Structure 1
Amino acid sequence: MAKVNIWLKRSFIIVASLMTIIGALMLAGTLFSHGHYHRDDEIEDMIVGINAMYVLSITILVLPIIGLFGACKEKRWVLIVFTVGMILCSLFVLYMAIHMLIIQPMLVKIMSKFYLSMQPISNASESDLKVLRETQIELECCGVEEGYMEWGYNISESCLCNDYVSARCIAAPRNSSLFQLTNHTPVMIFQEPCFPIILSHFYLGVNLLVGISMGLTSLWTLSCALSIAILCQLREKKDTLVVAYSREAKTGNYAVLAEPAELT
């Protein structure tokens, strides 16, 4: 086998090391998310996605380590395993990104149906009101589409805003249950409705997910190209010593080691 170009090997080591760091960060993030949501009532709905993230992050972490070993030791079969594994991971992530873009309109339709079904809020079920209150606290909003006016007289306390100078907050109307004066300061509530904020966060999350997927796929494709280049160099034969003829060579330079035997 031929010797691998040192710059090609160093480039592969840098890319594989970066992939290892990314895999370790993904695994750490998955562990943190699992620990954060393990007491949540909705953990059963999230466990499938968490397990998928475990598999993906561990795979992304292990394969670059295998590739680093193969490149440093110049083992062809190890590099082949790395290349095949990274190609499969790239295809899987690319498929998931395309699939997310395809089902995005359907997910928007499902969310719209869920939140818009809460209107009018006065007729919403207790479970829907609980979800809406939690959403209002988390996203700092009030109402579904038309803001605090959807609550009528009984505006939820989850609409309260503690930042009196924020442009997102307005004074509660006088004909509401929250209206009161404390040191001549009116009660402030969030002005923006929740559903537009939910949609903007959803689109941002999808675009971020697709962007990360494309970035990872590009990095993995680069690592596969470098690995294939190393494999091609390892497949070449070693250079053999070339013997050149020189006219300066003289026959007289050779000495007779033994005289021919005399006639007996």
Structure 2
Amino acid sequence: MSKINLCFKRIFVFFNVLFAILGALILSLGLLAHVQLHEAGGNKLTGVIVLVVVGFVIFILSVLGAYGAQKENRNVLIAFFVIMCMGTISLFRMAVQIAISREQVISEFQKLGHLDQADSDIKNTMELLQLNAKCCGLFNGYKDWGNEVPTSCNCEDTKHDRCQVYSSDENQGVFSQPCGPIILGYLNTALNITLGAFIGFGVLSLLAAVMSLVMIIRITAPTVSPPAIFDLNYKPPKYSELVPSA
């Protein structure tokens, strides 16, 4: 006989199945990206490896929780509860670290400059951003590039508000808007999404831990037998039924 409420169990299993599907999708996406980057000759696979590990962990934990609840296995549910508690603490701790270091990251970025002294990866990324966002430099415009202003800063229509004259030649213009504020907007959005993801997954982990604890308590609780029922309205048999008639 099941000791856990059927509706409660089904809700717990349902959400674990959803997270198992999510973990499988993340794992598949990470493996696909790993194969494509490997074929393209990419060496920086750290982000892809993290994606694979996260997807695998989510999938295994979800399967573990769904199996423990469906079979009402106390040991599996205890293991799931302990892991969820550890995950909740880790997620909230990382969220706090992101919230604390957020201003420091933005402040350090604002100190950047002199793109002419940056490495090739940063230069290539900046030139790609300048072409797409129609901007130039970080916070000081073309001056951040020193004497090596790239062609990605060039603006054809010097009479337009977004262009400014770069040299004595009035036909040579560059984008007047710096890229720094645009990058800061992307950075703020990325930090907000990351912080929200950590807090959201932390709350879900805490909820899963509480639900698994409830099921553990229900499973370990002793079975109480129903009390015996005595009929207090006892009526003795009639005298005529006990003594046969002559």
With the shorter chain as reference, the TM-score category is: 0.7 to 0.9
- TM-score, structure 2 length as denominator? 0.76
Deviations 1:154-189 (A, max 9, x none): 753213579x9xx9x735638577938xxxxxx8x6
The residue that corresponds to 2:74 in the other structure is 76
Q: Would the aligned equivalents of 1:141 and 1:191 in 2 still touch at CA under 8 Å?
A: yes
**Residues 172 and 222 (structure 1), Cα distance of their counterparts in 2 relative to 1, 3 Å cut:** same
Q: Would the aligned equivalents of 1:2 and 1:236 in 2 still touch at CA under 8 Å?
A: no
**Residues 78 and 251 (structure 1), Cα distance of their counterparts in 2 relative to 1, 3 Å cut:** farther
The residue that corresponds to 1:116 in the other structure is 113
Distance in 2 (CA, whole Å) between partners of 1:29 and 1:178 is: 50
The residue that corresponds to 2:171 in the other structure is 179
CA shift at 1:207, angstroms?
1.1
**Residues 219 and 107 (structure 1), Cα distance of their counterparts in 2 relative to 1, 3 Å cut:** same
Q: Would the aligned equivalents of 2:114 and 2:145 in 1 still touch at CA under 8 Å?
A: no
Distance in 1 (CA, whole Å) between partners of 2:196 and 2:180 is: 24
Which of the numbers 178, 183, 186 marks the counterpart of 1:201? 186
After superposition, residues 93-104 of structure 1 pair within 5 angstroms as 93-104=91-102
1:61 has 2:59 as partner: yes
**Letter of the structure 2 residue corresponding to residue 98 of structure 1:** V
Note the residue ranges of structure 2 that are not aligned, 5 or more in a row: 238-246
The residue that corresponds to 1:5 in the other structure is 5
**Residues 136 and 241 (structure 1), Cα distance of their counterparts in 2 relative to 1, 3 Å cut:** same
The residue that corresponds to 2:140 in the other structure is 146
3-state DSSP class of the match of 1:116?
coil
Distance in 1 (CA, whole Å) between partners of 2:2 and 2:222 is: 5
RMSD: 3.6
**Letter of the structure 2 residue corresponding to residue 179 of structure 1:** N
Q: Would the aligned equivalents of 1:137 and 1:159 in 2 still touch at CA under 8 Å?
A: yes
Higher relative contact order (CA 8 A, sep 6+): 1
Shifted more, 205-214 versus 19-28: the winner is 19-28
Distance in 1 (CA, whole Å) between partners of 2:138 and 2:23 is: 39
1:137 has 2:131 as partner: yes
Distance in 2 (CA, whole Å) between partners of 1:125 and 1:212 is: 32
**Residues 58 and 243 (structure 1), Cα distance of their counterparts in 2 relative to 1, 3 Å cut:** same
Q: Would the aligned equivalents of 1:153 and 1:177 in 2 still touch at CA under 8 Å?
A: no
Distance in 2 (CA, whole Å) between partners of 1:42 and 1:146 is: 33
**Residues 50 and 98 (structure 1), Cα distance of their counterparts in 2 relative to 1, 3 Å cut:** farther
Note the residue ranges of structure 1 that are not aligned, 5 or more in a row: 181-186, 253-264
**Letter of the structure 1 residue corresponding to residue 23 of structure 2:** G
**Residues 67 and 250 (structure 1), Cα distance of their counterparts in 2 relative to 1, 3 Å cut:** same
The residue that corresponds to 2:240 in the other structure is none
Q: Would the aligned equivalents of 1:154 and 1:177 in 2 still touch at CA under 8 Å?
A: no
Distance in 2 (CA, whole Å) between partners of 1:210 and 1:125 is: 29
CA shift at 1:132, angstroms?
3.6
The residue that corresponds to 2:26 in the other structure is 26
**Letter of the structure 2 residue corresponding to residue 145 of structure 1:** F
3-state DSSP class of the match of 1:215?
helix
